[in-house]
Amino acid sequence: MESQAPRIGQYEVVRPVGAGGMAAVYLCRKTGVGGFEHELVVKVLLEDFLDKAEFVDMFMDEARMMARMSHPHLVQVFDLGMAGPVPYMAMEYVRSRGWASGRGRPSRPIRCSSPGCSGARAWGSTTRTSCETATVGRCA
């Protein structure tokens, strides 16, 4: 009998991608009829914060804010949900080498975040603080 892959809501977990101070990110797969398959990442609030309403609210606010934004340098948020008591957001998966393989040169990703923040400011609904912590996606 084949074992079931772990799931976060409707998303099948492929592997962990990373974790930060209050959330973990997983590469996931959404499948559907006719062989439909789509890779995305799912960010979940860490267990230590589930009973702290202010952190749950911040996580939900981040997802709602990011879902309203559209800019070439920002990752798109597709879904916000609950897997039991755990809030999650499903986001666009952007293939990259990541910070770890940057050979000690963070200047390019940092430089790329500037257009994303300018796009967010132009949208008019973010503060300087929220823009500085926004998820940055693609860089040309």
Residues 58, 49 contacting (CB under 8 angstroms)? no
Per-residue model confidence (pLDDT) at position 35: 93
Per-residue model confidence (pLDDT) at position 126: 45
The CA angle 133-138-140, to the nearest 5 degrees, is: 125
Residues 87, 103 contacting (CB under 8 angstroms)? no
Rg value, the chain, Cα: 16
**Residue appearing with tokens 């084949």:** 2
pTM of the model: 0.70
In CATH terms, the superfamily for domain 7-132 is Phosphorylase Kinase; domain 1 (3.30.200.20)
Residues 78, 90 contacting (CB under 8 angstroms)? yes
pLDDT at 7 exceeding the cut of 60: yes
Averaged pLDDT, 19-34: 95
pLDDT at 124 exceeding the cut of 50: yes
Taking 3-state DSSP, the helix, strand and coil percentages for the chain, each rounded to the nearest 5, stand at: 35, 30, 35
The pLDDT mean for the chain works out to 81
